[in-house]
Amino acid sequence: MTTSKLTAPSALIFDMDGVLVDSEPLHKRAKELAFRQVGIELSESVYDSYKGRPDETMLPEILREHGGLERLAELSRLKREFYESIEHEQQAVPGAVEFVMWAKSRYRIALATSATPRNRRAALERLGIGDAFEVIVDHGRRPRPKPDPEVFQMAMRELGVGEGECWIIEDSLNGVVAAKAAGCVTVGITTTFEAEKLAAAGADVVVESFAELRGMLEAL
């Protein structure tokens, strides 16, 4: 889809990790430390394939490939503890907070994330935008994990908007696939994957920054 064919949305739905907060490297580091504790080393491509998907999907799938689920509870605990010990390093994606506040005054806005309620609350409070979103759907609501579109469908339903009225902002390939399956204009932002991969996954438009996205929306 070229930008000339885009129509202005009435609602925006944001992913969180990698879109609003630069947390993907911290989650990856915590997983690496946890897996190492149970004797598992994974390639970069494996970690990439799970970006945008919850730990409840990744951890058991990896353990099944490495002998069984006996250590799942221990692995989940280790990952959580490692992440919580380093999450203070978390930074906002440049321009994200300013864009959310700008968007809030012009559109209906929602958050649709694979993060746990605890991690979602901590991240949004750290950014100072805990009350910015009209609708929030996180892992605590138990949507099917991306690339299933359910998390976005739930957000649209609660906003009361249709797929043609909504743009979704995503950074991961699984997230882009999920957003396209939800039927919405999908914006890929290059915080986690390069532009070519986001476009190949189905993103309608790819931006390098929130300033670029704002300019695009203002031009519609």
**The domain boundary residue, chosen from 68, 89, 110:** 89
CATH number at residue 17: 3.40.50.1000
Which stretch of DSSP H or E encloses residue 185?
A: strand 185-189
Same domain? For 128 and 66 the reply is no
Same domain? For 169 and 66 the reply is no
pTM of whole model > 0.85? yes
Instruction: Walk along the chain (220 residues) and give the pLDDT tens digit of each residue.
Output: 556 689 999 999 999 999 999 998 999 999 999 999 999 999 999 998 998 788 988 999 999 999 889 999 999 999 999 999 999 999 999 999 999 999 999 999 999 999 999 999 999 999 999 999 999 999 999 999 999 999 999 999 999 999 999 999 999 999 999 999 999 999 999 999 999 999 999 999 999 999 999 999 999 9
Which residue segment(s) compose the domain that 126 sits in?
Answer: 3-23+91-219
Same domain? For 16 and 77 the reply is no
Q: DSSP code of 19?
A: T
Same domain? For 72 and 130 the reply is no
Count up the domains in the chain and report the number.
2
Same domain? For 142 and 194 the reply is yes
Q: How far apart are CA 65 and CA 119, in angstroms?
A: 27
Same domain? For 113 and 212 the reply is yes
**The domain boundary residue, chosen from 59, 89, 119:** 89
